[in-house]
A and B are shown apart, each in its own frame.
Chain A
Amino acid sequence: MRVSFKTSYNHDIRLFADGYQASRYAALVVLAVGLPFVLDDFLIGEVTGVLIWAIAGMGLMLLTGHAGQVSLGHAAFLAVGCYAHAILMDRFGLPFLASFALAGVLTGIVGVLIAIPVFRLHGIYLAIATLALSMLVEDIIVLAEPWTGGVIGLTAPTITIGGIDMDRFGSPDRFYWLCLAVVLLITLGYRNILRAPLGRAFVAIRDSEVSAQAMGVRLAWTKAAAFGLSCLITGWAGALLGHFFYTFNHEVFTVVVSIQLLLMIVIGGIGSIHGAFYGALVVGMIPQAINIGRDWITQVIGTGGVAIPGLETGVFGLILVLFILFEPQGVHGRITKWRIYFELFPFYRRDLFRRQRSYLKTERIR
């Protein structure tokens, strides 16, 4: 077991706890950069998808996991980012980097504008308002046909940075590295927000609004900032998603995607950046796992492939139910518990992570 003695207050908010942790993450980055040399084009495509969903997951994680505001409508912001980016590049002829940055900022502004009226709502009312928003955006995309191409949708333009093409199909490796760079920058930014007063204010609001207010946190302002930052990240994920799908229309951004995003971060482990990545991995692997399982069953029974519609969402739902019942902290929580088990061996107690239960009081009478 490693013991770290803290010798200054700055020690608490360092980017990495110690050199060991820093070297582990460095190794992970090296591994991720080298991945295209090992995997074939199809698998790199899959990994790219996981990375993009991880960005979207981080967007929602900031809002839900750290600021404690549940949104059931983040597909709407994915859509805003995606369409804004495609339109800026196609109609206004902006280069990729400018358009990409602007698309995220636009989504963030849209998010803040929406946050102002919506944040008078609490908990479940907020969730349903964002759900309705997601529904609305889906239909607005169809109605705004001159800009969005309506039902037919749009085609993502080719990315060119400094004369180098980065196409999803033509050069998947370069597109993967682009996504990886975005992921790294966003993760670093996210981590830094959490170390800064703003991130601490988010967590304070999540844990208790009354206490946060008593400590001098401006509730409305901080919530709007959380929503704006969350939408900024989600908008960037949307922009990359547009390139990833190549062609997209309103059906890519349904309410089901919103719900799946939320479920994704819950499976991954709510309240940690790791969780967004684990969640994206699990969600990305489910279809593959089902395919493999189906092949296996076919081999065992010896009949033709069984195709069951809706199996994917069914399995997804089941996994989630099991997680909520048995491991509410998600994959990240499970891994942390295992790690601590080995670090403390043999002193790990079963109730080490047990949380005290609270008795509910109604929200209707305050």
Chain B
Amino acid sequence: MEDLQLMVGGLANGCVYGLIALGFVLIYKATEQVNFAQGDMMMLGAFIAIGLGNESHGGLPFWLACVGAVVIMAAFGMAMERTLLRPLFGQSQIAVVILTIAFGFVLRFIAGAIWGHDPLVMDHPIAGTHVTFGPVVLSADEIAVIAVTVLLTGLLYLFFSRTKLGIAMQAASQNQLAAYYMGIPVKRIHGLTWMLAGATAAAAGILFAAKGSVDPSAGLLGIKAFAAAVIGGFGSLPGALLGGLIIGLVEPFAARYVAAGYAQIAPYAVLILVLIFRPHGLFAQVSGKKL
């Protein structure tokens, strides 16, 4: 029974990792850029939701605060693409990686300056309630986190595989020049992608804040989420979720059954093993080499 509870806790954690990983994959899938600031955007989304919704701050109703955070982060993502990433259009991937790492530092500093460095807790309607399934007691927020994540992943998957915009996004990443020739407005597509990534980051932030407290260094979670995205195969949406779940599950079980100290290295050990044996992740997106 204890195992089952560990599992649900791990799944809920994994869902948050998965959602951040989803943001990584979203941007990578559509723009071939890697956004290392995704974790910090998640942190910012969480803080905006807290700032709008908590009694001590904005005092808006919970749902309004959530919607507000998602909208603000979507606008933020778009603004970020416009000001920071568009000048780098056509330059190497590594420039974007370094830029977003540095911008993550800046975001962390800004969040610290506005909301302080002490952990904050979000007020939400289902805080502290439990659901009992026979002998297993699950907290309601964990179940909500899992449900919302599955829903979001499904929606994004359908968006990418079914809608015209989603397919245009994939085309823009596969070959920018060819996409231009086909009449796809690549730059605008990039803007929309970052908007979507900002909104996803806000959703991840709200779910993260619902499970615990947030402080400016929460963005470092992004590194674990990045590991999740790589385990899943960078560029695959279900893979990102799966990778997140694997990392989320490995952590509590390693903490429970392996000697202390080894638990925190377990996710990275898994990552390195995956990279050695399946260099492009579990859901490999790389097809054969053609010259």
Contacts and interface: CB of A to CB of B under 8 A. Distances in A.
A79 interface: no
**Chain B CB within 10 A, most for which of A123, A125, A127, A132:** A132
B112 A131 contact: no
B276 interface: yes
Interface in A313-366: 313-318, 320-321, 324-325, 328, 357-366
Given A118-B275, A139-B261, A320 B32 contact: no
A267 to B, nearest CB: 9
Given A143-B262, A263-B98, A321-B84, A360 B106 contact: no
B115 interface: no
Contact of A365 (B104, B177, B287): B287
A124 B93 contact: yes
B221 to A, nearest CB: 13
B200 to A, nearest CB: 19
A309 interface: yes
Chain A, interface size category, equals 35 or more
Interface string B230-255: 10001100000000000000000000
B271 A132 contact: yes
A310 B112 contact: yes
B105 A313 contact: yes
B134 interface: no
B208 to A, nearest CB: 20
Contacts of B32: 360-363
A292 interface: no
Interface in A144-158: none
B174 A317 contact: no
Contacts of B106: 314, 317-318, 321
Contacts of B286: 363-366
Contact of A70 (B94, B103, B234): B94
B152 interface: no
Interface residues of B, number: 57
B268 A313 contact: no
A120 B279 contact: yes
B217 to A, nearest CB: 9
A278 to B, nearest CB: 16
A308 interface: yes
Contacts of A159: none
A324 B60 CA distance: 39
A194 interface: no
A359 B230 contact: no
B113 A308 contact: yes
B105 A314 contact: yes
Given A127-B97, A259-B101, A314-B110, A364 B176 contact: no
B174 A325 contact: no
Interface string A294-324: 0000000000000011110111111011001
A168 B230 CA distance: 43
A288 B182 CA distance: 53
B177 to A, nearest CB: 4
Contact of B285 (A124, A320, A364): A364
A317 B287 contact: no
A29 interface: no
Contacts of A309: 112, 117
A128 interface: yes
A140 interface: yes
A291 B200 CA distance: 38
Contacts of B97: 70, 124, 127
Interface in B83-122: 84, 87-91, 93-95, 97-99, 101-106, 108-110, 112-113, 117
B87 A325 contact: yes
Contacts of A70: 94, 97
**Chain A CB within 10 A, most for which of B235, B264, B269, B272:** B272
B269 A321 contact: no
A133 interface: yes
Nearest to A123: B93
Contacts of A363: 32, 286
Contacts of A362: 32, 173-175
B25 to A, nearest CB: 11
Given A124-B93, A359-B176, A129 B272 contact: yes
Interface in B159-209: 173-177, 180
A320 B84 CA distance: 12
19 contacts: A117-B276, A118-B275, A127-B97, A132-B227, A139-B264, A143-B262, A262-B101, A308-B113, A311-B109, A317-B104, A320-B99, A325-B87, A325-B88, A359-B175, A359-B180, A360-B90, A364-B234, A366-B289, A366-B290
Ordered nearest first, which 8 A-B pairs have the shortest CB separation?
Answer: A314-B109, A317-B105, A357-B90, A320-B102, A132-B268, A359-B177, A317-B106, A359-B176
Interface of B: 32, 34, 84, 87-91, 93-95, 97-99, 101-106, 108-110, 112-113, 117, 173-177, 180, 216, 223, 226-227, 230, 234-235, 261-262, 264-265, 268-269, 271-272, 275-276, 279-280, 285-290
